[in-house]
Amino acid sequence: MGVFDSADVKARKRKERYSMQAQERWDAGDRYFAPSMVNPGLPDMGGGSVMNNTVWVEALEAIESVGWVLHTWSTAVVRPALGPTSIPASIAQPLFVRHAVERRD
C-alpha cells in the first residue's frame, strides 16, 4: 500500500489481498483457513464501548465470498512496551472452514 493512498484505495487493496490469499488456500484444497488480521493503533475505548471495526468486516466478507465459512475466532489487544512510539494493536484470529459436503455412498 502506498503511503499516500486514499482510504478507499487502501480498503480496496486490503480486500483484494484477503480475497487472493483465501482463494489460493481454497484452490489448494485446504480444509481450514486461519489468517491473522491486525488493526494497529486502535484507541482504548474503555469498558462497555461498542465499535464496528470496518477493516475486519471487509476482510471477513472478502474471505467468505470465496466460499469459506467462519467457524470461530478470537481476538486480543497487544500492548507493546511503554514508550513514545508504543501503539496497541487489535488482532483477530478467525478460523474458516469449508462447507460440510454430504457423502453419498
More confident residue, 77 or 27: 27
pTM of the model as a whole: 0.72
Q: What is the pLDDT of residues 81-95, one digit of tens each?
A: 777 767 777 888 999
Per-position b or e across 3-23, b if 16+ CB within 10 A of its CB: eeeeeeeeeeebbeebbebbb
Looking up cell 487472493 gives 20
> According to the model, what pLDDT value does residue 102 have?
47
96 pLDDT higher than 90: yes
Q: How far apart are CA 66 and CA 99, in angstroms?
A: 12
Segment holding 90, helix H or strand E: strand 89-97
More confident residue, 46 or 22: 22
7-97 CATH choice from 3.40.50, 3.30.110, 3.40.190, 3.90.190: 3.30.110
